[in-house]
Amino acid sequence: MQINNDYLNIEAILKDVKFKEEKFLRKEEICQSILDYIENDKRKRLRARHFIMRSLATAAVAIVVFVTGAYWAMNTTVTSGQDVMAIVLPDNSDVVMQPQTSIKYNRLAWVFKRDLSLEGCAEFSVTHGSTFTVNTALGDISVLGTRFMVDVTSDELVVECYEGSVSVKTKAGKKVLTKDQKLHFDGEETTPGVVWPEFIEFENESLPVVLSKIEEIYDVVFADKNSFANIEYSGFIVTGDMEETLDLLSITCDIDFNVNGNQISIIVP
């Protein structure tokens, strides 16, 4: 048996042993018995320690497996298909998804981090709380609580802020949008814009003023618009469809338009 050097001093080992007979001659045997006891006790303690460590390791693996399984089980994907779909997220934030839109998030991780992935177009009304992040292929949009829209395709990202503020991070840099501001990212550069209401109404407004607003909205130019200051317009224009807006003006003001690219000529019948 291999004996630890700490126990080779027989006198040191036997100094606390009380012998009934002072002339006891088998001190070496007593010493060896004590050493055997010490070594056996060490082995028992070592085996107990190894058992505890193995038990803890097994429990840790079980916990990891359970948590990992629970995490993946909580992965959620929502796809709108051909319809507009409204959903409520775990924090009661609302999302209105346009057709062919997909959202992915994890319900377990949501407790710690409000984070989702978006493909398509959706409008978000976010409850106040920790940072809320929409991840897309072209950039990430982060807010604390606000209402905004994100429209992403394979090569274009559009973000519109309706309330509060929105941080948009792309490879072109980081931009912060506030109410009624808009950002367009083409994969290389960002272009700021304005979020217009669906309709803008006018009452007895001179035609050049109305045409100037159309120029601002659609990035077009009306030739000789100031020549028609004597014409007034009462009605509305549509901010999402220039052709419809020009049709409304044509009918109301008895004029016509010739569109050539972003140049528009006014024609009086």
* Residue carrying the six token digits 């775990």: 90
Q: Are residues 127 and 189 both part of a single domain?
A: yes
Mean pLDDT of the chain: 83
Domain end, chosen from 165, 194, 223, is at 194
- Beta-strand (E) ranges in the chain? 75-79, 85-88, 94-97, 102-106, 114-125, 132-135, 140-143, 147-152, 157-163, 165-170, 173-178, 181-185, 190-194, 199-206, 221-223, 232-238, 256-260, 263-267
Q: Are residues 210 and 162 both part of a single domain?
A: no
- Cα–Cα dist 128/91, whole Å: 9
Instruction: Quote the tokens at residue 59.
Output: 């429990």
Model-level pTM greater than 0.85? no
- Cα–Cα dist 255/266, whole Å: 7
- The confidence score (pLDDT) of residue 31 equals 59
Give the pLDDT confidence of 2-40 residue by residue, as tens digits. Answer: 444 444 455 555 455 444 444 444 555 555 565 665 666
Give the pLDDT confidence of 35-67 residue by residue, as tens digits. Answer: 665 666 666 666 666 656 665 555 554 444 444
Average pLDDT over residues 114-133: 95
What domain range is 207 assigned to?
Answer: 199-267
Q: Are residues 62 and 91 both part of a single domain?
A: no
**How many domains in the chain?**
3
Instruction: Quote the tokens at residue 197.
Output: 């209401």
Give the pLDDT confidence of 90-112 residue by residue, as tens digits. Answer: 999 999 999 999 999 998 888 88
Q: Are residues 108 and 160 both part of a single domain?
A: yes
* Residue carrying the six token digits 């319809």: 83
